[in-house]
Structure 1
Amino acid sequence: MRKKIASLGILAVLLFAVPQTGLSQSPKESYIIGNGDILEIVTWKEEDFSREEIIVRLDGMISFPLLDDVMAAGKTPTQLKLDIQDGLKAYVSEPHVTVTIRSAASKRFYILGEVVNTGEYPLTKNLTVLQAFALAGGFTEWASKKEIILFRRDQGKETVIRIDYKDIVKGKDFSQNVEIRADDTIVVP
């Protein structure tokens, strides 16, 4: 009996000690605002300079009172806050602005092929490919789980990442359980 308990303990240590190399180990980057995101901008004690829902247009701009068009896409909420505060200084003595992402509509990924629910999915938190398959309802009976392809555009060039689902779930290669990024497309043949 003691041998069984010791064996289970060792197995548990091995399972939880396996490094998750497919997951990002670096500190998380700040959110980058994109086209289609919905922002809330509040200027403290200035209701005329506060908006509950501002949509980032396709050109990356937002419209804001007295400042007209302000570039939002490609900036962090903190950078946009500072830009708006600088612009409002001509109208408000000490503007204090807060920028909040109400809906991260610009961050999406896509799953196509032999999954139950193909389509576009919002990237509202950090997800791995295994979690993306779960969101898509799993595989159809015809899915080729050893030949999955993830297409990623990174710094202007297309990258192809091959994923063998069976190797991941068997514990052979956790590095294939990569973190999903905005605009990734997963194809399950």
Structure 2
Amino acid sequence: MQSIKTLLVIVGISTSFFLDPVLAVPQDADIKRGGGPSSAKSPISSSDKSLLIVTPEYIIGPEDILEITVWKNADLSKQVQVRPDGRISLPLLGDISAVAKTPVQLTEEISVGLRAYMENPTISILVKEVNSYQIYVLGEVNKPGKFPLKSKTTLLQGITVAGGFTPMAARNKIVIFRFSKDGEGLTKLKASYDDIVVRDGSIQNMELKPGDQIVVPSETMVVLPSR
């Protein structure tokens, strides 16, 4: 895979390449309405990955490829891919949580860890490939799958690019699984389509984050509470 624009972060210094922001869209042709948000037609090619934004505030996500260099120490320098569990493995330090952190934050954490083995380590992190800007829409939508996430995208927009709800969708029982801020696990968020659209529950129409897993259960899966 050809690497896209990169970000070099050194302790105390950050240099970035700014790229054009775009919107989250599906990777194939038309999207049919399925009883939920209105549909759209927004084809995307694989070359659009080069349009992703890489800035000092970039948040590392699963499947991103990082080149970590320890100055004057080739044995500790390594190119790694962030695993699905959000961690990377480094010599001496073992497993480190990388997801949900900026390259600057990860650089500082690695530097602190290596101070037990060397004096004043100088660390640089190069984001070689951005692979984590994806969302996953699962369950009762017409086109479940993985979609590129670009620029600000709301929950309703995410459901729209997945083709909208199916007739069996429990649209008021939407669940979003998201990596926690410390990258150590998943948080569970809930949303109701009727609350967002009918009852002005706009706060539930949250901005999606890279790696978010949106699950729309079926009505048959929803268990009614006993009276």
Q: Give the structure-2-normalised TM-score.
A: 0.46
Gaps of 5+ in 2: 1-56, 181-185, 219-227
Which residue of the partner structure matches residue 39 of structure 1? 66
Structure 2 distance, partners of 1:133, 1:75, is 23
2:89 paired residue among 63, 72, 75: 63
1:113 paired residue among 119, 137, 140: 140
Q: Is 1:187 matched up with 2:212?
A: no
SS in 1 for 2:207: coil
CA displacement 1:56-88 (0-9 Å, x = unmatched)? 346654333x53524134562323212333417
Structure 1 distance, partners of 2:122, 2:168, is 57
Which residue of the partner structure matches residue 24 of structure 1? none
Which residue of the partner structure matches residue 161 of structure 1? 191
1:139 paired residue among 157, 160, 164: 164
Structure 1 distance, partners of 2:106, 2:177, is 25
Q: Shift of residue 152 of structure 1?
A: 3.1
CA displacement 1:109-159 (0-9 Å, x = unmatched)? 3232142x11234545432123213321x237x547893432135777744
Q: Is the 8 A contact 1:38 1:105 kept in 2?
A: no
SS in 2 for 1:63: strand
How many positions carry a matched residue from both structures? 152
Q: Is the 8 A contact 1:39 1:102 kept in 2?
A: yes
| Structure with larger Rg | 1
SS in 1 for 2:137: strand
Q: Is the 8 A contact 1:148 1:188 kept in 2?
A: no
